[in-house]
Amino acid sequence: MRIQDLGSRNGTYVNGRRIKSAELASGDRISLGTSVAEIAISSARDTNLGPAKVSASMAGKLDEFPLVDILQLVAGSRKSARLRIRSAGVDGIIDAVDGDVVDARMTTLPAASPMKAIVRMLAWRQGEFELQPCSPDAIPKAPLLISTQGLLMEATRQLDELLRTAEQLGGLNHHVMRGDDAALRPGSLLHAITSFVGHGPASVQTCLDALDAPDLEIARALAELVAAGTVLRCDPTGLPSAATNDES
| CATH code, domain carrying 70 | 3.90.70
Are 133 and 173 part of one and the same domain? no
Spatial neighbors of 15 by CB under 8 A, at least 6 apart, are 28, 29, 64, 65
User: What CATH number is attached to the domain comprising 44?
Assistant: 2.60.200.20
Q: What is the tens place of the pLDDT at every residue in 171-208?
A: 999 999 988 877 778 889 999 999 999 888 999 999 99
Helix-, strand-, coil-residue percentages of the chain, each rounded to 5:
30, 25, 40
Radius of gyration of the chain (CA): 22
Q: Does pTM surpass 0.95?
A: no
pLDDT digits (tens, 9 = 90+) for 83-125: 999 999 999 999 988 888 888 999 999 888 889 999 999 999 9
- CB–CB of 139/196 below 8 Å? no
Does 50 score more than 50 pLDDT?
A: no
State whether 85 and 61 are in the same domain: yes
Domain limits for position 189: 169-247
pLDDT reported for residue 40: 52
